[in-house]
């Protein structure tokens, strides 16, 4: 968590300086957009963290470790890939849920598979994509990205399980 705070502080300061150097009031505009976003998402954020906290106590750690932990191997990665697809919510709701699953003992492979599957295969995006880009495009894309979460989860488990 502390490392995430430092990354965000550095990112914010760098972007603020970059915006200020443009000398057109971009920095003030950016801060205002950020504040507006914060207020508009505040209720969703509070509820999402509440749900994530309750999910963490509702999910028995032993069960999560058995099905989704590093020892679960392929099973965890496959479950993560399928589960991510079914989470039909935006990042403000999904990330706290994924974080609570990771906190409960899910392995890095499963967490990456969950996040990747939600990013590329979330079923909630399908109606918009089909309407705007066409069913043929959506079907072709879906057939091509089907294995990405599994491969990404496998690579994360293989190369990063030992260092995280």
d(CA 115, CA 133): 24
> Smallest gap, in angstroms, from Cβ of residue 143 to other proteins?
8
One DSSP character per residue, 60-95 reads -HHHHHHHHSGGGTHHHHHHHHHHHHH--S-HHHHH
d(CA 76, CA 68): 4
The residue (of 75 and 141) whose beta carbon lies closer to other proteins is: 141
The residue (of 66 and 92) whose beta carbon lies closer to other proteins is: 92
Answer yes or no whether residue 1 interacts with other proteins by CB under 8 A. Answer: yes
Contact 69, 76 (CB under 8 A): yes
Contact residue for other proteins among 16, 66, 67, 95 (CB under 8 A): 95
- Of the candidate spans 17-25, 62-70, 79-87, 135-143, the one that interacts with other proteins by CB under 8 A turns out to be 135-143
Span 48-67, contacts to other proteins by CB under 8 A = none
The residue (of 23 and 68) whose beta carbon lies closer to other proteins is: 68
Answer yes or no whether residue 150 interacts with other proteins by CB under 8 A. Answer: no
d(CA 66, CA 79): 12
Nearest to 117 by CA among 73, 78, 77, 85: 85
Contact residue for other proteins among 24, 145, 150, 162 (CB under 8 A): 145
The residue (of 60 and 91) whose beta carbon lies closer to other proteins is: 91
Residue 49 tokens read as 């963290």
Contact residue for other proteins among 76, 84, 96, 107 (CB under 8 A): 96
């Amino acid at each position: 968590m502390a490392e995430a705070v430092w990354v965000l502080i550095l990112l914010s300061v760098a972007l603020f300086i970059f915006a200020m150097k443009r000398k057109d009031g971009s920095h003030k505009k950016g801060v205002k957009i950020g504040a507006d976003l914060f207020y508009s998402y505040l209720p969703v954020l509070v509820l999402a963290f509440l749900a994530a906290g309750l999910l963490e106590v509702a999910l028995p750690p032993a069960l999560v470790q058995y099905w989704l932990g590093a020892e679960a191997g392929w099973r965890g990665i496959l479950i993560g890939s399928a589960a991510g697809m079914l989470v039909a919510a935006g990042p403000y709701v999904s990330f706290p849920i994924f974080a609570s699953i990771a906190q409960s003992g899910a392995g890095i492979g499963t967490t990456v598979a969950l996040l990747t599957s939600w990013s590329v295969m979330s079923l909630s995006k399908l109606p918009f994509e089909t309407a705007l880009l066409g069913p043929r495009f959506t079907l072709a894309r879906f057939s091509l990205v089907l294995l990405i979460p599994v491969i990404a989860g496998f690579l994360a488990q293989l190369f990063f399980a030992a260092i995280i």
